Amino acid sequence: MAHDGIDSTRRRLLLAGSALALMPMSTFAVTRGGRTPTVRVRGGRLQGARDILADGREVLSFRHVPYGADTARHRFQPPQPEPAWRGVRDATHFGPVAAQSGALGPGSEDCLSLNIWTPSTDKAKRPVLVYIHGGGYTTGGGNDPLYDGTRLCLRGDVVVVTVQHRLNLFGYLYLGEFDERFTASGNIGQLDLIAALHWIREHIAAFGGDPGNVTLFGQSGGGAKIATLMAMPEAAGLFHRAMTMSGQQVTAAGPRAAAQRARLFLDALGIAPDRLDPLLSMPAARLLDAARTRDPSRVEEMALYFGPVLDGRDLPRHPFHPDAPPQSAAIPMIIGNTRDETRAFLGKDPAHHALTWATLPDALRRHQYVDLPTDVVIAEYRRLYPDDTPSEIFFAATTAGRSWRGAVLEAEARARQAAPTWVYQLDFPSPLDGGRDRALHTLDIPLVFDNIRQPGSRTGNSDDAQRVADAMSDALLAFARHGNPNYAGLPHWPRYDLAQRATMIFDRATRVENDPRGGERRLYEQAPFVQRGTF
């Protein structure tokens, strides 16, 4: 979900993944061996690793491949090319994530790097799948075990790439209103991604990939970043398919709203807007601490929001308002969500699992983004789902009013544009914690990567879970190869239109439903959708 950070449990899992990053992937029974691969790129020569699976198959990996220079030297400025190096650069270990607070922090401002998995460095011109991580625009990184490209790479004979880029204030603090040196600062994180895509176009052929067939896929904040790239002129032509998973960006922050947040940030540091030079030398930790300032939004109590900015330059329009971006109309797109998104974070509070009809209204007032009368919402949910408990209605309503609403609006905008679009919903439930989390936010990550046995996966490793992983990963691979997710063995997946609203339901029995949760969709159409950070 684009406006929600990673919950504390997820952060602990990510931290565990970082600790495992330098270890062989025992989950895959991988050993390092054979002649190590070497590839030449613009900065110099890279030496990767050759990983051998238990069944004898091999995958080549290149980690911490730089696509830009250390950003500490040019804070709040567009990315610069990485410096050349002498000799052969070791590319067998992950590099640091972006500077951030939380379990993955402190990270580093020297973070612009890629991780690449490929079956071979031949000239086979394989489809390239580039994954953009979640964590909103604030946290996360491309080194998580759930994002390991080994199985997807070998399953589909494709090249898999994950990306690190600037986040939070380092990637999205809008200072352009105060100093013309920083006119691009509100979208620096997006410009990093564009620089990474330029690097991929220039060099991915050396890793066995096809620069003319690049698919972006990303979950939560990663999906939101992709939706934003679809409206950025500098990104045009750099990717050819897009898949967003529980992540959408209907509107961006307006310049007034972004400048207001920048002023609050500067106030916390004691810096005047007309004297920004101290920002360039302050320790990153101090800047991150100031970013914890309370956001002016009345939606929820969170730290300052940082995200893409409608700056009239790098982002000249809202990503999906008032319509879908014309520049991306020809790009095939999959838009997906999980059935029970908010159980991933709101479900951590035991009180939310013990709501009564008396306590439900107040819980909805605090956590439902769409501003509708709670008695109207509750009455409609009780009509639609008469057997649901107050807690079940709470999780359903908060999911429908938050992430899912934006996904529906994007799909509708694409349908009006007659752009090739497919929609999915993950209903397969997590078996962990007694099954109470159901199809929670992030559950589709290990399924799409076919990584259900990796650390951090909440899918379980049952035959049912593997069948869903087979269906989702094969749909992604078909989409990357052909621009259409249909393949033999999957129920026919129609394109999304406003008449039928066909949606692939990934579950124990994968199937297509027309307009699932249509009653909820119509309920929330009564109020305008306002994405966090817009105002």
In whole angstroms, give the CA distance from residue 332 to residue 479: 8
- Residue 323's DSSP bridge partners are none
Distance separating the N- and C-terminal Cα atoms of the chain: 18
Planar angle of CA 530, 261, 244, nearest 5 degrees: 45
pLDDT at residue 31, as a whole number: 61
Compute the Cα dihedral for 270, 274, 279, 285 and give only its sign.
Answer: positive
Compute the Cα dihedral for 240, 60, 449, 433 and give only its sign.
Answer: negative
What phi, psi does 477 have (nearest 5°)?
-65, -40
Side-chain-side CA neighbours of residue 202 (13 Å)? 12
Q: How far is CA 220 from CA 37, 193, 470, in A?
A: 34, 16, 21
**Alpha helices (H) in 270-359, listed in sequence order:** 284-290
Question: H/E element holding 423?
Answer: strand 421-426
The 8-class DSSP code of residue 270 comes to: T
Task: Quickly count: other Cβ atoms within 10 Å of residue 513's Cβ.
Answer: 15
- Mean pLDDT by runs of 10 across the 535 residues of the chain is 40 37 43 80 97 91 98 97 97 97 96 98 96 97 97 97 98 97 98 98 98 98 98 98 97 96 98 97 98 84 92 97 98 98 96 98 91 95 98 97 92 98 98 96 98 97 98 98 97 98 98 98 92 83
Q: Which residues are catalytic?
A: 220, 341, 441
pLDDT at residue 533, as a whole number: 83
Compute the Cα dihedral for 113, 114, 120, 125 and give only its sign.
Answer: negative
Is the bond into 106 cis (omega within 30 degrees of 0)?
yes
Alpha-carbon dihedral 478, 321, 163, 42, rounded to 10 degrees: 100
Q: Report the candidate in 222, 180, 311, 302 with the shortest Cα–Cα distance to residue 258.
A: 311
Q: Which residues, 6 or more positions from 70, have their beta carbon under 8 angstroms from its beta carbon? A: 109, 110
pLDDT at residue 20, as a whole number: 34
In whole angstroms, give the CA distance from residue 502 to residue 515: 6
Question: Are 215 and 130 contacting, i.e. CB atoms less than 8 angstroms apart?
Answer: yes
